[in-house]
Structure 1
Amino acid sequence: MVIAHVHELVGTNGFSLNLRWPTLRQEAWDVAVANQSASWMDAERMRRYSAAYAGQRDIVASLGANLSLVMNGPRMVDAITDLRTGSVQPREILHVISQMPVMLGQAKDNLQTLEQGLQSALADEPKAQS
């Protein structure tokens, strides 16, 4: 009954558990620091460069958090050890291998988001927001 209700609510998108933390942007501080060393640059370009830098920093933190949430290192080491000794269970290998495409998918999504942010921030003229 509960499972049917969950499937009804999520439709074709499927059910997913996800932990998200707010990012604490630091562009204002970065701009203030950069202004001291790159005072020749106009304020708008400085702000965009600072946003690009903050985006890179956020992605690195996000990738690290995702890695620790998705990949189970000790389980992976145990499965490889069991494989080497011939005592591995096929289901255990499936569990370990299944973590990899999930992590790679999350990394790809994060990097695509970063790429879009960098292109927007580093363009000569900022793109108009729709």
Structure 2
Amino acid sequence: MHVDIPKLPMDSFKDLAKHYLMIVLGILTALGLEAWIEHAHHVSAAADASAQFDQQLRVNLDNIRRSIQRNTATMQKLDSLDAMVTADLQKGVPSAQINQQLRARRDDFKIDIQTPDTPVSAWDVAVANQSVSWIAPSKLSAYSTAYADIRAIGQWRQHGAFLMLDLPQTMNVITDMSKGQDVDPMQFLRVLAQLRGTLHSADSNLVSVQEDLLAALPDQGKSGAQGQ
């Protein structure tokens, strides 16, 4: 910061006071202008970061909704298979006849657990350039929660998605059915229960994340309620 003060003759204390006052006013004006420019920069950067967050969160929200819809459709098929085999066992239907029904519906039995693509680049950029620190605390809290949940989806996909599932046993049942071989109905129900539990866990997580994204995107509230 540089302030140029005009050089004036000082013949009295009054002239000295005027000169001093001009210096002080010049410094204060310069400081105020500098602070205003910095504040304007922060406001602009925060607005840009918020706009990037909103855009990316909307993409993530759409991806999450599609995954929930596909998981729901898969769950309906698995629920139907479970009801069919359970009813047949209660009625004492022979295993061979149950397998005939399963072979007719073998396409309904598969591992199809959807987890969405959830990019977080907008948050990483805002943290790197510090614009995230200039967003209003209430909005920042909602954004932070949304992005933490999004990261948790990736962690769940990598480390916890199939903890409830006996993959070798599941693949054995799927292989036998795809090759037209009979499977033990009770073993089938056990594998089915694992698949349904895994799907339920996935959808519960996604629904929770969806709610936090809707909280961070108030303009999505009405459409979000319709999309659920």
TM-score normalised by L of structure 2: 0.35
Matched with 2:165 is 71
Q: Is the 8 A contact 1:63 1:110 kept in 2?
A: no
Q: How many Å apart are 1:56 and its aligned residue?
A: 0.7
What does the per-residue CA deviation read over 1:71-114, in whole Å, with 9 as the maximum and x for residues that have no partner? 22211111123332624212221111222221121112111111
The letter for the 1-side match of 2:168 is: P
Query: Number of residue pairs matched?
Result: 95
Matched with 1:121 is 216
Q: Is the 8 A contact 2:146 2:212 kept in 1?
A: yes
Question: What's the RMSD between the two structures over aligned residues?
Answer: 3.1
Decide which of 185, 204, 207 is 1:112's aligned counterpart. Answer: 207
- Distance across 2 between alignment mates of 1:108 and 1:49: 21
Matched with 2:154 is 60
Instruction: Sort the Cα spacing of 1:63 and 1:75 in 2 relative to 1 into closer, same or farther, 3 A.
Output: same
Matched with 2:14 is none
Q: How many Å apart are 1:123 and its aligned residue?
A: 3.0
What does the per-residue CA deviation read over 1:12-68, in whole Å, with 9 as the maximum and x for residues that have no partner? xxxxxxxxxxxxxxxxxx689526164695242344323211111113323544422
Q: How does 1:3-18 map to 2 (within 5 A)?
A: none
**Counterpart of 1:68 in 2: which secondary structure?**
coil
Q: Is the 8 A contact 1:70 1:103 kept in 2?
A: yes
Greater radius of gyration (CA): 2
Q: Identity over the aligned pairs, expressed in percent? A: 27
The letter for the 2-side match of 1:36 is: N
- Distance across 1 between alignment mates of 2:195 and 2:147: 28
Q: Is the 8 A contact 2:165 2:194 kept in 1?
A: yes
72-81 vs 35-44, greater mean Cα deviation: 35-44
* Off by >3 Å, runs of 4+ in structure 1: 30-33, 37-41, 63-66
Instruction: Sort the Cα spacing of 1:47 and 1:32 in 2 relative to 1 into closer, same or farther, 3 A.
Output: farther
What runs of 5+ residues in structure 1 fail to find an aligned partner? 1-29, 125-130
Matched with 1:94 is 189
39-48 vs 80-89, greater mean Cα deviation: 39-48
- Distance across 1 between alignment mates of 2:196 and 2:182: 25
Matched with 1:42 is 135
**Counterpart of 2:148 in 1: which secondary structure?**
helix
1:81 counterpart = 2:175: yes
TM-score normalised by L of structure 1: 0.56
Q: Is the 8 A contact 1:52 1:121 kept in 2?
A: yes
Q: Is the 8 A contact 1:35 1:46 kept in 2?
A: no
